[in-house]
């Protein structure tokens, strides 16, 4: 049983390192945990044009537990940082992933 735990820990450590490198390459390393949750959630639900709605994003597994104010503050911050942009000429809650 000890070997299995060691292997699982090593696998998790390696996955974490790979994730940190990928996040750094994409510019995500400077974001807060809440902001990263929104980015990952948006990637998960975005359509082929990288569009998503904030209503659906709010219901994703990674964003569903965020307090309402925290969610909207993080969304506004990601828009101002250029990670998301509002889709012109559409619903008020439709956005595009910019990265």
Q: What is the pLDDT along the chain (99 residues), one digit of tens a residue?
A: 555 566 688 888 999 999 999 999 999 999 999 999 999 999 999 999 999 999 999 999 999 899 999 999 999 999 999 999 999 887 679 999 998
Write phi, then psi, for 94 (nearest 5 degrees): -100, 130
Query: What residues have CB less than 8 Å from 37, skipping those under 6 apart?
Result: 62, 63, 66, 74
Domain coordinates of the chain in residue numbers? 1-30, 31-99
The pLDDT value given to residue 44 = 95
Q: Strand runs (DSSP E) across 1-99, as ranges?
A: 51-53, 84-86, 94-97
**Domain range 31-99, CATH architecture:** Orthogonal Bundle (1.10)
Q: CA 8 to CA 47: how far, in whole Å?
A: 34
């Amino acid at each position: 049983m000890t070997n299995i735990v060691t292997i699982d820990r090593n696998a998790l450590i390696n996955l974490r390192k790979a994730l940190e490198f990928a996040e750094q390459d994409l510019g995500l390393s400077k974001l807060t945990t809440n902001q990263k949750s929104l980015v990952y959630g948006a990637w998960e639900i975005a359509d082929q044009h990288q569009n998503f709605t904030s209503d659906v994003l709010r219901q994703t597994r990674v964003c569903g537990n965020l307090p309402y104010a925290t969610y909207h503050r993080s969304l506004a911050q990601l828009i101002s940082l250029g990670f998301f942009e509002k889709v012109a000429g559409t619903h008020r809650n439709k956005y595009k992933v910019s990265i």
